[in-house]
């Protein structure tokens, strides 16, 4: 089936107690690994592209890679989403260029400016049946061009969400409840340490999520910065020449809890990067005479597939929901 927007995905996810994985893509191997896992597990999936990914790989190449994935996985609902669009012009370019969903991130602006810019994107996007994600609150950390110093983040104010959604007409809302971008989501001062000396992050603010749910019942909520930074891959990176001290992420059990509530989309990027990089470093160390990119990118692609499969089954809970999502899309949203 062709690319779809996120309406049918979120309809089923909200009522089904699961979330859709939104995985960032930058090259062929990542696209293949993600969609092969989703295909085998019959899971709907969102492939998302950041401003930095477009600069790295070129808009046209990325769209064609996703189109190839759609052709290879005809039974899987796939949305192509712009992650952290920061201008109307960028969102418009992606809408005009074949994306089925966009995010306009004006969360760093004053409230009324956020409303104004988000509304402008929504008005344009909805003409083309493209869904729009907006954001209230700011996350700490670094993701491509998105950089917020620790201490400068701000939790979403639940009292603002109803007004914001009504005024903008956005289709989903990213909120800040304590997640953070990148592989260094928390400073050591924000954490405790377990018996092995590994940082233990502070818990997510579920009271903020629950208050938002109360104020916008039935409305899809999004979590950014939701990689768990698996320590096995941090250790692998460090063992084979890397240097990632105190890298720590969001505990998976907290993300699973969020997925059973109103969170319909969970963004995952750093975990894929870690799995790929750890396996490539390991391959180089074990095969210093090899120089064919296919040799080290093959296990890297498998690492992406294994990571995504784990997330789909054990964190998101969206495995087995492809067919019902397609049915809702055909009956309710397809134009």
| Better-scored residue on pLDDT, 190 or 10 | 10
For 175, other C-beta atoms within 10 Å of its C-beta total: 27
Average pLDDT of the residues in 11-31: 97
Judged against a pLDDT cut of 90, whether residue 115 lies above it is answered with: yes
Count CA atoms within 13 Å of residue 6 on its CB side. Answer: 33
pLDDT of residue 141: 46
Distance CA(19)–CA(95), nearest Å, equals: 24
SS3 assignment, position 67: helix
Q: What is the mean pLDDT of residues 151-165?
A: 84
Q: How many C-alpha atoms does 67 have within 13 Å on its Cβ side?
A: 9
Confidence of residue 150 (pLDDT cuts 50, 70, 90): very low
Nearest Cα neighbor of 84 from 182, 155, 167 is 182
Task: Categorize the per-residue pLDDT at 314 as very low, low, confident or very high, splitting at 50, 70 and 90.
Answer: very high
Q: How far apart are CA 221 and CA 176, in angstroms?
A: 10
State how far the Cα of 29 lies from the Cα of 71, in Å rounded to an integer. 16
CA 248/CA 188 separation, integer angstroms: 9
230: helix, strand or coil: coil
Residues tagged active-site: 83
The architecture CATH gives domain 7-333: Alpha-Beta Barrel (3.20)
Q: For the chain, give every domain's residue range.
A: 7-333
> What 3-state class would DSSP assign to 190?
helix
pLDDT tens digits along 246-269: 888 899 999 999 999 999 999 999
Cα distances from 23 to residues 215, 246, 291, in angstroms, run 28, 24, 28
Q: Choose between 146 and 66: higher pLDDT.
A: 66
Residues 290-304, mean pLDDT to the nearest whole number:
98
DSSP label at residue 201: P
Q: Tell me the average pLDDT across 113-128.
A: 98
- What length is written for the chain? 335
The pLDDT of residue 147: 46
pLDDT band at 301 (very low <50, low <70, confident <90, very high): very high
Evaluate if residue 245 carries a pLDDT over 90. no
Percentage of the chain modeled with pLDDT above 90: 82
């Amino acid at each position: 089936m062709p690319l779809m927007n996120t309406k049918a995905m979120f309809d089923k996810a909200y009522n089904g107690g699961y979330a859709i994985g939104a995985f960032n893509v930058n090259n062929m191997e990542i696209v293949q690994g993600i969609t092969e896992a989703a295909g085998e597990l019959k899971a709907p999936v969102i492939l998302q592209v950041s401003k930095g990914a477009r600069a790295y790989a070129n808009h046209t190449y990325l769209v064609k890679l996703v189109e190839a994935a759609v052709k290879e996985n005809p039974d899987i609902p796939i949305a192509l989403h712009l992650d952290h669009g920061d201008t109307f012009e960028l969102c418009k370019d992606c809408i005009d260029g074949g994306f089925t969903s966009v995010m306009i991130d004006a969360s760093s602006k004053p409230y009324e400016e956020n409303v104004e810019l988000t509304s402008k994107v929504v008005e344009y996007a909805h003409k083309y049946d493209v869904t729009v994600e907006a954001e209230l609150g700011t996350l700490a950390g670094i993701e491509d061009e998105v950089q917020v110093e620790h201490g400068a983040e701000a939790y979403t104010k639940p009292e603002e969400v109803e007004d914001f959604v009504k005024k903008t007409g956005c289709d989903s809302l990213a909120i800040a409840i304590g997640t953070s971008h990148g592989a260094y989501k928390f400073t050591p001062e924000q954490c405790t340490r377990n018996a092995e000396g590994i940082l233990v992050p502070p818990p997510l603010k579920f009271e903020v999520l629950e208050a938002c749910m109360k104020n916008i019942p039935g409305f899809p909520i999004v979590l950014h910065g939701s990689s768990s930074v698996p320590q096995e891959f941090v250790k692998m990176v460090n063992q084979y020449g890397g240097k990632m001290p105190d890298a720590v992420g969001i505990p998976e059990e907290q993300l699973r809890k969020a997925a059973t509530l109103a969170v319909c989309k969970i963004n995952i990027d750093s975990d894929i990067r870690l799995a790929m990089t750890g396996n490539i470093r390991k391959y180089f160390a074990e095969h210093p005479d090899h120089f064919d990119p296919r040799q080290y990118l093959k296990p890297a692609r498998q690492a992406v597939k294994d990571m995504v499969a784990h997330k789909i089954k054990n964190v998101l809970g969206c495995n087995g929901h492809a067919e019902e999502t397609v049915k809702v899309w055909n009956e309710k949203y397809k134009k």
